[in-house]
Structure 1
Amino acid sequence: MTIASDLLATDFATLPDLIRAHARERGSSTAIADSQGSIDYATLDRTMDRVAAALQRDGIAAGQAIAIVAAPSTSYLSVFLGAVRAGCVATPIAPSATPAAIAAMIADSGAPIVVLDEVMAQALADERVTARILLLSDASPAPEGAGDAELLESWLAPDAARPTPVAIAPGDAFNIIYSSGTTGTPKGIVQSHAMRWAHIARNSAAGFDTAVTMIATPLYSNTTLVSVLPTLGWGGSVVLMGKFDARGYLTLAERYRATHTMLVPVQYQRIMALPDFDAFDLSAFRFKTSTSAPFSAALKADVVARWPGLLVEFYGMTEGGASCALNATAHPTKLHSVGQPMPGHEIRLIDDDGVEVPPGEMGEVVGRSPAMMNGYHGRSAATRDAEWYDAEGNRYIRHGDVGRFDEDGFLILMDRKKDLIISGGFNIYPSDLEAVLSTHPDVADCAVIGMPSEAWGETPVAIIVPRSPEANPADIMAWTNAQLGKTQRLSGIHSVSELPRSAIGKVLKRELRDSLTGTAA
């Protein structure tokens, strides 16, 4: 037995301790690689020590947030993990947010220090950021009001520095992830060390100890971290890709002999659509996963048929609750579902009054598991709104989705509850309409939203990305409506060159509604 294997066999271990063990036992093994090179576990561990020691030197207490706004890199992850070793709360923030929103999230987190790359330092140059600024590059200007910014390398403690050990309890905060709020400051989701340990421990059979995990999604997303952190926890290698493009991804995967990956459905879609996909050598792949957005059954089937290794779809939330897993390779007749609750995870379905619905009926998904958020940072009322308690007082998290279980216990999702369209008193699920619309040969991508209607209250409207300029929206709508029930029929259809999506592939339906109503900011 090794130190790392002993830790992994316990009921609770911290990621910094696991990385320390890997540094001692496989120090020369690659931990993280990016476009600039790679670092091994010994270097990662030493850099984490330098970060943690510098934080302690500067009087930054355990429990304080350390914000990071930058593109993925080995330095980014080293700071993130070093902050965690010091007992601080890593707070990655989306560079894609507006400068004002980024400044607001930094302020909301209470972070005394924020780490920026050159691009983000320039983007925030006109914002008032009162946190101390650490720059990843000497070409970066300091935001207004920041005082004297410092280079990260100059700020770090000396190479031989060792921080004072910090006792970390399971319930202590590990990180804050900000939700993709559409109005006001996004909510900061506080995830604990226990929650992250649950993510690492549940992957005991996934082979992460020998993994080369390709990462093509941003590091501020939980979608990414649920693959990155288990890979490092088990001692595998993480390969960070910059801006995603399908052919570039396959080139890197072939070069590194990637074995694991987490991709969102739109990335799978773009990769599988490449005419020369089958020319790439992907034979090293053992484990592919997906989450964060609807994953069509047809696309899952294509990935299973043509891409080596298991395909597993995960359904869950950044806030935690419960997760489902669908082994698409093992369950080809269940590809329309998101799988079954994982071991130790429990899902209930409730109605609008918070009462459980009978078996087989649809309801709002609520879930509980060992992996649940502490709450929203500084927002106790919002935390209470996200919770549901059963008759025994057990805490569940509201997922915000509507779904039902089939006869085999597989969860079939309908839609986000907020996206449900109520037209003339009838419930219309956009996913039902999108499933029909997406099969039209002239439709490359689509979304259905509810729009105000004097006659019906709301009415379904489709937005499509046509495959060619010759596609006729009116003909596509007539074809679609001929296959829908009377109460489901589209009342309008609009063509766009591309659907607005978040960095992890979710269609931004709020933006679509705003663009059609003329209320976009």
Structure 2
Amino acid sequence: MQEKLAGPFGSYPALLREWAQVQPDKTSLIDDAGTLNWRDLADMVERLATRLVETGLERGQSVAILGTSSINYALVFLAAVRAGGVAAPLTTSASTEQLAGMARDSGARHLFIDAAKSAEMDEAFMPDMQHIALEDVRGWMAPAGTSAPDFQPDKRDPFNIIYSSGTTGIPKGIVHSHQMRWTQFAATGLSYLQAGIEIRSIASTPLYSNTTMVAFLPVLAAGGTVRIMGKFDCARWLTNAQADRSTVTMLVPVQYQRLMDFAGFDDFDLSSLTLKYCTSAPFSAELKGEVLRRMPGGLIEIYSMTEGGVVCLLEAHKFPDKLHTVGRPAPGSELRVLDDDDREVPPGTPGNMIGRSMTMMSGYKNRPDKTAEAQWIDPETGEAWMRMGDIGRVDEDGFVDLVGRAKDMIISGGFNIYPSDLEEELEKEAEVREAAVVGIASKQWGETPVGFVVLKGGARSCEEICGAVNARVGKTQRLSALYAVDEMPRSHIGKLLKTELRERAEHQTSTA
């Protein structure tokens, strides 16, 4: 199997079938309802794929999935790909209007939906699609022993569509090809086999998130076992990790923070953990350090986008002096840092990051205009790079330090203010657990920075904390206001929603 994974391209469905022949009785998937061995995984994927084709699925057509992550959800995802279709998981936290928009955009004829989401939807929700209950997929699939028509993927065939986590409008569908997924996850699966790691992972973020794929697709590619959690809960995650003797996990920063804050954390045996991954949101150096001290195994932070571009990796356990960075570009990834006139800046200078790699999207589904906007075309070579949307700087060792989101940069009185600089200063205060800074409109300065903090407790007020920080920073950086919140607004995978904070800041300023 190592030889197959080492190849430049292959069939992911065929790889799963081969693993089922090699280790039929080994557990492949686990959820709260039970387990599935590799023999039954392969059989059910074939039967579901057969039924999809029988009911009208065409090559390259999407299969929409809407519900809480489970074994059945995973089976539908894999069966869609096996049948020559495209897995199109939909974001459960989206509004009904957004869900309808995503479903239409995907072009799916089939909608697999669980009872909870079905109860939320109007009876007229997507009536032109065939609705199949996720809880009943085993009754819906073709008879035992059935095999789906042969499907040999082309490198350019779409594998899945991941919908972006935009807070307004209809999310964009990010299309990944079979070649992209093979390049991305065959290499990871191969590294597991070469290291001799027995892969037992926990997928604790939703299967509609690209983040979760790290704990799902490469683990199955390596013949491992995936536990699928329907909803993250510290006690359940710790219990599962201990009981399963989990070796690999992917968690977003807010999940790591919750585990570190969980009262009974140190009572659980996590000694089997070999590799811990993190991605999707800023991961503070302080939190990385705590995770390294208290959780066994290596810690790897992945910086990239669902759309692709540069992929940076920080092996935090190997570079404890670089925890403030997101690491260096991975092999096969390229990074440039440009000024506003698209000229490369010297090392150490903040600028707009662009990147490219072998793991870039095919484009946004039905949105060539948005695809073009997301790209930077090299005027000399015509090659496409992805605009990362971040402002960063590269240090003398090649490590990338993120300054902030390009759209979040504050221009006050003609000076650039990077929110991360002020957030770092706020988090130096003993009372501050977490900080976020946004810019709002100002008649005097054009924009002005406003801060939000989650407090640990202490005697000082926000006004006193703000005063202490403003005394340390330059005049152009000073916060105009600081507000305390019980918790920061976040997306389903823990991304800080600065749009909501900006709206709060504008409201509080207007009513002050």
User: Please, what TM-score do these two structures have when normalized by structure 1?
Assistant: 0.94
Structure 2 equivalent of residue 189 of structure 1? 174
- What SS is found at the alignment partner of 1:49? helix
Name the amino acid aligned to 1:75: N
- What SS is found at the alignment partner of 1:55? helix
User: Do 1:218 and 1:224's aligned partners in 2 also have CA atoms closer than 8 Å?
Assistant: yes
The answer to whether the aligner puts 1:458 opposite 2:455 as a matched pair is no
Name the amino acid aligned to 2:348: G
Match of 1:22 among 14, 19, 22: 19
Q: RMSD of the alignment, in Å? A: 1.6
- What SS is found at the alignment partner of 2:215? helix
Residues paired across the two proteins, number: 503
- What SS is found at the alignment partner of 2:216? helix
Unaligned runs of 5+ in 1: 138-150
Structure 2 equivalent of residue 145 of structure 1? none
Q: Provide the rounded CA distance (Å) in 1 between the counterparts of 2:505 and 2:220.
A: 45
How big is each residue's C-alpha offset from its partner over 1:17-72, in whole Å with a ceiling of 9 and x where there is no partner?
A: 11111000011111110111111111111111011101111121010010101111
Q: Provide the rounded CA distance (Å) in 1 between the counterparts of 2:29 and 2:98.
A: 30
Q: Provide the rounded CA distance (Å) in 1 between the counterparts of 2:35 and 2:271.
A: 23
Match of 1:361 among 341, 344, 349: 349
How far is the alpha carbon of 1:353 from its aligned partner? 2.6
Q: Give 1:49-128 correspondences, 5 Å limit.
A: 49-126=46-123, 128=125
Match of 1:505 among 490, 494, 497: 494
- What SS is found at the alignment partner of 1:446? strand
- What SS is found at the alignment partner of 2:214? helix
The answer to whether the aligner puts 1:259 opposite 2:254 as a matched pair is no
User: Do 2:72 and 2:137's aligned partners in 1 also have CA atoms closer than 8 Å?
Assistant: no
How far is the alpha carbon of 1:152 from its aligned partner? 2.8
Structure 2 equivalent of residue 386 of structure 1? 374
How far is the alpha carbon of 1:155 from its aligned partner? 2.5
Q: Provide the rounded CA distance (Å) in 1 between the counterparts of 2:191 and 2:282.
A: 26
Q: Provide the rounded CA distance (Å) in 1 between the counterparts of 2:341 and 2:198.
A: 48
Unaligned runs of 5+ in 2: none
How far is the alpha carbon of 1:470 from its aligned partner? 5.9
How big is each residue's C-alpha offset from its partner over 1:145-180, in whole Å with a ceiling of 9 and x where there is no partner?
A: xxxxxx433321111110111121111100001111
User: Do 2:6 and 2:187's aligned partners in 1 also have CA atoms closer than 8 Å?
Assistant: no
How far is the alpha carbon of 1:7 from its aligned partner? 1.8
How big is each residue's C-alpha offset from its partner over 1:449-476, in whole Å with a ceiling of 9 and x where there is no partner?
A: 1011111111110111222386511112
Name the amino acid aligned to 1:386: A
Q: Give 1:100-499 correspondences, 5 Å limit.
A: 100-126=97-123, 128-129=125-126, 130-137=128-135, 151-203=136-188, 204-206=190-192, 207=195, 210-390=198-378, 391-468=380-457, 472-499=461-488
Name the amino acid aligned to 2:155: P
Q: Provide the rounded CA distance (Å) in 2 between the counterparts of 1:66 and 1:378.
A: 16
Name the amino acid aligned to 1:402: I
Structure 2 equivalent of residue 147 of structure 1? none
How big is each residue's C-alpha offset from its partner over 1:352-383, in whole Å with a ceiling of 9 and x where there is no partner?
A: 23332233322111111111100000000110
Q: Provide the rounded CA distance (Å) in 1 between the counterparts of 2:42 and 2:162.
A: 24
How big is each residue's C-alpha offset from its partner over 1:481-504, in whole Å with a ceiling of 9 and x where there is no partner?
A: 122222111101112211110111
User: Do 1:208 and 1:231's aligned partners in 2 also have CA atoms closer than 8 Å?
Assistant: no
Q: Provide the rounded CA distance (Å) in 1 between the counterparts of 2:196 and 2:305.
A: 22
Q: Provide the rounded CA distance (Å) in 1 between the counterparts of 2:342 and 2:82.
A: 40
How far is the alpha carbon of 1:351 from its aligned partner? 2.0
User: Do 2:431 and 2:458's aligned partners in 1 also have CA atoms closer than 8 Å?
Assistant: no
User: Do 1:443 and 1:464's aligned partners in 2 also have CA atoms closer than 8 Å?
Assistant: yes
User: Do 1:209 and 1:234's aligned partners in 2 also have CA atoms closer than 8 Å?
Assistant: no
How far is the alpha carbon of 1:518 from its aligned partner? 4.4
How far is the alpha carbon of 1:516 from its aligned partner? 3.2
How big is each residue's C-alpha offset from its partner over 1:58-106, in whole Å with a ceiling of 9 and x where there is no partner?
A: 1210100101011110000000000000110100111111122111111
How far is the alpha carbon of 1:126 from its aligned partner? 4.8
User: Do 1:100 and 1:127's aligned partners in 2 also have CA atoms closer than 8 Å?
Assistant: no
How far is the alpha carbon of 1:311 from its aligned partner? 0.5
Q: Provide the rounded CA distance (Å) in 2 between the counterparts of 1:112 and 1:188.
A: 16
How far is the alpha carbon of 1:127 from its aligned partner? 5.0
User: Do 1:114 and 1:133's aligned partners in 2 also have CA atoms closer than 8 Å?
Assistant: yes
